[in-house]
Structures are given as structure tokens and as C-alpha cells.
Structure 1
Amino acid sequence: MHDIRAIRENPAAFDAGLARRGLEPQSAALLALDEKRRALITEAQAAQTRRNEASKAIGAAKARRDDPTDLMAEVAELKERMPQIDAEEKAVGAELTTLLAALPNIPYADVPKGADEEDNQLVATVGEPTVLPFEAKEHDAFGPALGLDFETGARLSGTRFTLVRGAAAKLHRALGQFMLDTLEAHGYEQAIPPLLVREETMFGTGQLPKFAEDSFQTTDGRWLIPTAEVSLTNIVREQILSEEELPLRFAALTACFRSEAGSAGRDTRGFIRQHQFEKCEMVSITTPEQSEAEHERMTQCAEGILTALGLPFRRMKLCSGDMGFTAARTYDLEVWLPGQARYREISSCSTCGDFQARRMNARFRPAGEKGTRFVHTLNGSGLAVGRTLVAVLENYQQEDGSVRVPDVLKPYLGGLEVLAPAN
């Protein structure tokens, strides 16, 4: 959520920031509503003051045995008008909030301007793309023999659902636990958050109201989380923290649910884009002064998992047109998939500044100060488990359809060296 006071102070800068997102200027419309709302507040205050004065004057007139009829008529008129002013002010305020809530975060100055993924900026490449001594296959070609049962998943639930069983299920579970253990070693507190949340929780992290069609809603009005970012970030909703408590770092391995409303025709095969998937999520709550370093730290944590797994990847800085709604800057980590002979996103690490904190009213009290400030929030994938499974299958595949187990995962699989296809 944007601060209307900041827009009031520098509308040109606000519109310039939106322009980098490809949006038309909005400050004039917002400030017109803001001015109208403030005028109504002033009118309400003046009306209340005059009503109090007139009421006192009526008492004084009666004491002097003067006729208070005109004053009583004025008080009656004010009594009737004041609820109208209040209703108008609330309506204008709601309209202003609705408009502000629909506008994305302003990109940081170092974010490259661009329209889509073609304009993203390569930051670093780690490792060389895997070259196999045979023709690499995509995971959906040999994955079914290892337990990626696409047919049964579709029969049970429809498209974009997969039944994972056997060797693939063991690898999937090992990856998730390895990610959690790694993040805990980096100071992230493990959490098991609710998968169903209220509307205001989804609003706090920016999924609502604009992206309702991208998520699933239950019959009782709750929402299935599209990522544990939603639950973890809202831990500090409507809280005032002390500066000494920060940073807070949380990690959770959860199921995630996405309708994929805007991705018709994309990745319809395989395990890349599912309605239900697991992800290990990182969330940090920091002071504004800490958030820059925290963004780099978080991204390095995700990179460390890929490095430990021996997977080639690259870091991309997303352009202004490709970032998520709440992000002020995002680094995407893209892993190399030999079967597709291309890099694919496996993690996004974003810093949101105080954008989400304003929506959640999450603040902290700086040491030695009486006032409060909004916290900064960050979130990142550490990592998407299903996509990591795909990356391991494709990078460690062998010609006979088996898959070598990365060294760091062997303890999680009882020392198993190779995942063999079922007979």
C-alpha cells in the first residue's frame, strides 16, 4: 500500500515510478480524492465545534430567558448534516483505499526498466550447463518410471495435478527436508503455518483484491495459500515490535495452491506448473536499514541450496515490468534443465520495502524513540521443491533411466546412491 502523504509531497516521483511499471499517471486522481476526504474531515470538525458552541449558547439563552429557537434550529440542522458528512468521508476514504490497494509497489532505482522477461538483467552465472554423454531427456519422458504419475493425478483431480510415488516421492521429501535444515542453519526459524487464511491476510501480502482469480477460495470464505509467504509475513500483522526483535526470519515447507489463471497453454506437460505444489519459503521482517543487506543474504541462502545440490544456475534481476505486484526489487534464480536445454525459474527473492507492512499495519519502535515506523518485509523461495526435483532428475539422469543421488541428499535417503526406475 502506498502512503498518500508521500504522494502528496512528490506526485511527480510517484507517477514516474508507476511509469516504470508501464502504468499511466495516478497521482492527480488520488490527490483529488485525498483533498475531498480532508475537506470533509475539516467540515465535520467545524460542524462539531459549532454544534458544541450552539448547544452552550442555547443553555445561556434559556438562563437569560431569551428565545433560543434559531439556535435550536441550527443545532437540529447540524445534527442531521453531521452523519451525512461522516458517511461521505467514509465513502471517499474507501474509494481512495481501493485505488491505492490496486496499485503495485514502486521499483527501486536500480531495477532495470523493461516490459517483460526479455528485459531482465543477468547478474551472475554459477556453474556450467550440464553436458551429458547421451541425448538428455525431459523429466516427463523418464519421470513416470520413477514415480511421477501424471495420468493418475489427472484422473484424480484434473489437469496440472500429479500423483508422486515411489522413488520420486522419496526424493521430493528428501529435498524438502534438506532445504528446511539448510535454512535453519542460516538462522531461519521453522514454522508450520495455516494453509487456509482469511481475506485480510491475503490482502496484507497483496494477493487480494487484484489477484483473486489466481487463488482458490473455500466455501466458508477462506483462501488456500498460494505460498507460505502469506501466512509467514502476516505473523507480524497489526503488531508493534521492538527494534531488538528484528530481524525476524521464518521458513516453512508447505503445500501451495494456485489456479494458474493467467498461464493457459504454458507448461501443460510435466511437473513444472501445477495447481498444487510444495515450496520451502523464506520470510524476513527487518528494519528499513537492514532490508538491503537482508535481500542479498536471503538470495545467497537460496543460491547456497542450489550450489550444495550441484545444480548450475544463474541470478537474474527482474525488470520493472516483470516483477510481482508487491516487490520493489526481485532476484530470480534460474536452474539449468538439460532436457529443455534452457534455464528455468526455481526461486524468486523479493524485497517489498514497507509496501506490505502498510497493508498489514506492521510496525516497530526504534530504540530510544517514542514513535513507530513500518517494518520492511522480504520473501523468497528456498526452493520450489517440485522444480528442484525436476532439476535433479534432468541434471543427474543416466542413460538407463536411473538418476544419481546428489551427495548432500544421500543421508536423507538412507545412503541410497541411485534412484532406479520401477520394473
Structure 2
Amino acid sequence: MHDLKYIRENPADFDAALARRGAGPVATELLALDEENRRIATELQMGQARRNEASKAIGQAKGKGDEETAQALMTEVGELKASLPLLEEKEREVSGRLKDMLAALPNLPDSDVPIGENEDDNVEITRWGDPRKFDFEPVEHSDLGPPLGLDFETGVKMSGARFTFLRGQMARLQRAIAQFMLDKQTVENGHTECAPPLLVRDDAAFGTGQLPKFAEDFFRTTDGRWLISTSEISLTNSVREQILEEADLPIRLTALTPCFRSEAGSAGKDTKGYIRQHQFEKVELVAIVHPDLSESEHERMTKAAESVLLALELPYRKVLLCTGDMGATARKTYDLEVWLPGQDTYREISSISNCGPYQGRRMNTRFRPEGEKKGTEFVHTLNGSGLAVGRTLVAVLENYQQEDGSVTVPEALKPYMGGIEKLEPLS
């Protein structure tokens, strides 16, 4: 959501920032609606004030025996009572249109975000680790995984495409990865572990920007709730409609949850394997911070996500997303892309975004600066994967595979594997 005061004072700058994201100019239309809304609100307030004033004057006129004035005032009050509900309905209609228009607009990109149309225009920032040199031809996880317990066939038979059934040592490895990540993000990186709801109402999904624009990406229950596509929704909305004290900030949260995505619009993409599923696990990172600290928090949170890849010794690169590839709620996003030798390419494993006040304004979440009794400001919010568990499983399988089809367990995961040091093909 955007600040109307800023748009009124900087209409050309607002349109120019939207243009960097490929969106057309809207300031003129927004401001016309805003002006109409304020005109109706003023007319409504004046009418209500006059109704109250005239109603009071009726008694005064009758008390003086001035029946003619009393009758005139009663007629005026009657007309106001008839017209004010129409004005109230008009105000609801115009303010609703204004809110809907603002809600549909993406966040404004930071000035250092590169202009571009798609992932081809992203900018690589850093790269860590040298891809392993194999003395055999590495295979993709979709071929390597089934003998180890990554059962695609049963998942499809049971639930349809983009579902997978994990068995035995493979399920243990996924659990180990998830627990390792949680320990990393809580003990080392200072996030508070949470166990949030997996079902949310409309206002929560609206608060973090998934609604109304991305409703097709969700699964919805018969009672109108939404299965979360990321625990960012639940974690960030934990401060919804609150006024925090400056001393409460920063708030850093993390959660391991199942996530559910319809993958609308992804037909034909990553249909093979474990990369793009309808149901998957993710360790999410969320921060609610003072506006002055959101940029430094973005760098800190990115390092928190990177720390998992470093500990697992998985080669990766850090990429700054361009305006055309960035999510609608973000003003700046880093992607971490892990090396997958079976695919001979880097693939996204985490996106870490600074949303600025965009979500704070949608959730109406503010903080009171120290020393202020009445003034408040919107918080800034950040979110990122720390990491996607299934994609990390894929990266471990492909990078630690052996020629005989086994997979060596990374040193960092061995304490979580109950003595298993290597995944062996099942007989």
C-alpha cells in the first residue's frame, strides 16, 4: 500500500518509480479519486454538523414559540436525513475504489534496483564455492532420488502432479535439513522460533500483499480460509494492527512450516522432480524493524540465509533482482541460487526481500518513536527463506552424489541423522 500524502506531493516521481517496474502512470487517476473522496467526506461532515445544529435549534425555536422557524428547521433536518445516507454510500463507493486501486499497485523499487524485464536482467553480486569436479557424469535428483526413497510415483498416484512421498532415509534427511536450519536461524542468527497457523483469513493475506492480486496462487478451504503459501503471512501478521514501542524493535521471527501453492501459471515448468511442488516445507525468516535499519537488516538477513549454504558447503551465487523479476511487495530483493551439478546450472533456493513500509501500511502496524506520546510511524518489514527445505534436499543430493548412486551426508547434518552417514540405494 502506498502513502497518498507522498503521491499528492510527488505525483511525477511516483509514476516514474512505477514505470521502472513496467507499470503505467496512475497518479492523475489516483489523485482525482482522492480529491473526490475528500470532497464527499467534507460535504458529509458539513451535512452531519448542520443536521445536529438544526436539530438542536428546533427545540430552541419551539421554546421561544417560533413555530414557523421550528417547522422550517424540521423540514431541513428531514431533507438532510434523506440525503446523508446517499452521501455515506457514495463515500464508501469512492473510498473503496481508491483503496482497491492502491492495493493493486506494486511496491516502489529502491533506486539501486536494476531496471529489467525478467531474470535475464538480474545482476550477480557475489559467488561462493567452486562447483565440484566429478570423475563421473552427475545425474539430476529426479533420477538419483527414487532408489534412495524419493518416491514420485506414489505421491502422484495419491494426490496428483507435484506431490512426492518421501520414505526412510530420504525422509530422515529432509527432517535433518529442516532441524539444522531452525537451529542455525535461532541459536546463531537470533530469530525467535514460532509455530504459526497454516490457515489464515482474508485480512492476513491482504496484509502481506498476497491478496487480492495473487489469489489464484492459493488453495482455499470451504469455510473461506487460505492455506499459507509461506509462513511470512502468519509471522508478519503477528503484529497486525498494533502500535509497538520503538524499544520492541527489531522483532525477528522464524518458523518451519508446510507451505501450499497452486502453482498457477507454472504449467510445464519444473514438472519433473522435487523443485516445484504444491506442498513443501520452508524455514522462513521475518523481521519487523525501525525504518532507519531496514537496509542493514536486509544485508543481515541475507547473510543469515547464506550461512546455511556455507555450512552445507553448497556453491551458490547472490543475485540482485531487476525491477521486472522482483515480487510485487518488495522494494529490493536478493536471490540466492545454489549450484545443481545434475542440471549444470544455478537454481533459486532463497529470496530475501525488503518491503519497506508497504506491508506495515497494509497491516496498519506502527511503532511509537522514543519520546513521542502521540506520533507514530509505520514499521518496515522484511522476509526471506532460510531456506526452502525441499530445494536444499535437492542440492545436497546432487552435490554429494557418488558414482554408485549413494549420497554422502554433509558434515553439518550428521548430528541430525541418527548415525546415518550415507544414503544407500534401497534394495
Q: TM-score, with normalisation over the residues of structure 1?
A: 0.98
Give the alignment partner of residue 285 of structure 2, picking from 266, 282, 292.
Answer: 282
Aligned residue runs from structure 1 range 228-247, under 5 A: 228-247=231-250
Residue 61 of structure 1: CA displacement? Answer: 2.9
Equivalents in 1 of 2:45, 2:186: separation in Å? 53
- Cα pair 1:136 1:338 within 8 Å, conserved: yes
Equivalents in 2 of 1:71, 1:218: separation in Å? 54
Equivalents in 2 of 1:160, 1:414: separation in Å? 29
> Structure 1 regions of 5+ residues with no counterpart?
none
1:105 corresponds in structure 2 to 107
2:193 corresponds in structure 1 to 190
Residue 83 of structure 1: CA displacement? Answer: 1.3
Give the alignment partner of residue 121 of structure 1, picking from 112, 120, 123.
Answer: 123
**DSSP-derived class of the 1:352 partner:** strand
The answer to whether structure 1 residue 215 and structure 2 residue 218 are counterparts is yes
Aligned residue runs from structure 1 range 361-372, under 5 A: 361-370=364-373, 371-372=375-376
**DSSP-derived class of the 2:381 partner:** strand
- Cα pair 1:130 1:336 within 8 Å, conserved: no
Equivalents in 2 of 1:220, 1:357: separation in Å? 27
2:45 corresponds in structure 1 to 45
Residue 130 of structure 1: CA displacement? Answer: 2.2
2:133 corresponds in structure 1 to 131
Residue 287 of structure 1: CA displacement? Answer: 0.7
Q: Which amino acid aligns with 2:167?
A: R
Residue 166 of structure 1: CA displacement? Answer: 1.6
Give the alignment partner of residue 377 of structure 1, picking from 357, 381, 396.
Answer: 381
1:249 corresponds in structure 2 to 252
Equivalents in 2 of 1:61, 1:291: separation in Å? 62
**DSSP-derived class of the 1:34 partner:** helix
Q: Which amino acid aligns with 2:41?
A: I
Residue 132 of structure 1: CA displacement? Answer: 1.0
Equivalents in 1 of 2:334, 2:64: separation in Å? 77
| Identical positions, percent | 64
Aligned residue runs from structure 1 range 267-416, under 5 A: 267-370=270-373, 371-416=375-420
Equivalents in 1 of 2:419, 2:232: separation in Å? 33
Aligned residue runs from structure 1 range 50-65, under 5 A: 50-65=50-65
Q: Deviations over 1:276-318 (max 9, x none)?
A: 0000000001010111111000000111110100000000000
The answer to whether structure 1 residue 14 and structure 2 residue 14 are counterparts is yes
Q: Which amino acid aligns with 1:87?
A: E
Equivalents in 1 of 2:204, 2:58: separation in Å? 50
Q: How many residues align?
A: 423
1:420 corresponds in structure 2 to 424
Equivalents in 1 of 2:415, 2:125: separation in Å? 33
Equivalents in 1 of 2:278, 2:49: separation in Å? 58
Equivalents in 2 of 1:411, 1:257: separation in Å? 29
Q: TM-score, with normalisation over the residues of structure 2?
A: 0.97
Equivalents in 2 of 1:103, 1:10: separation in Å? 16
2:2 corresponds in structure 1 to 2
Equivalents in 2 of 1:352, 1:43: separation in Å? 36
Equivalents in 1 of 2:253, 2:56: separation in Å? 58
Q: Which amino acid aligns with 2:236?
A: T
Residue 91 of structure 1: CA displacement? Answer: 1.1
Q: Which amino acid aligns with 2:146?
A: P
- Cα pair 1:131 1:338 within 8 Å, conserved: no
